[in-house]
């Protein structure tokens, strides 16, 4: 399963620049991960200051 970003996201954008496959984009009120593109590397979870991304 791809990673998902919870409502804890504060839209800082740090995860998007660190994603190796550009799967993360700014959405409505939070950032979102494209499930078909995500390779489950976990970098976004390691980068996020509020722990919003998680493996689902
Ligand atoms: Fe990108 Fe890796 Fe996060 Fe998937 S787990 S969205 S590939 S940084
Ligand atoms: Fe949201 Fe965390 Fe990504 Fe920042 S790093 S945009 S808080 S998911």
The domain segmentation of the chain, as residue ranges, is 4-54
For position 43, what pLDDT does the model report? 98
pLDDT for res 56:
76
pLDDT tens series, the chain, 56 aa = 899 999 999 999 999 999 999 999 999 999 999 999 999 999 999 999 999 999 97
Which tokens belong to 27? 């959405």
Q: What is the structure's pLDDT at 47?
A: 98
CA distance 36 to 46: 20
**Among the residues of the chain, which ranges form H helices?**
14-18, 43-47
CA of 34 to the centre of ligand 1 (A): 9
Cross-strand bridge partners of residue 53 = 5
**5 CB under 6 A from ligand 1?**
no
CATH fold of 4-54 reads Alpha-Beta Plaits (3.30.70)
pLDDT of residue 54: 98
């Amino acid at each position: 399963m791809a990673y998902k970003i919870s409502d804890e996201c504060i839209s800082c954008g740090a995860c998007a620049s660190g994603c190796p496959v550009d799967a993360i984009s700014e959405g409505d009120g939070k950032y979102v991960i494209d499930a078909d593109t995500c390779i489950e590397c976990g970098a976004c979870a390691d980068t996020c200051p509020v722990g919003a991304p998680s493996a689902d």
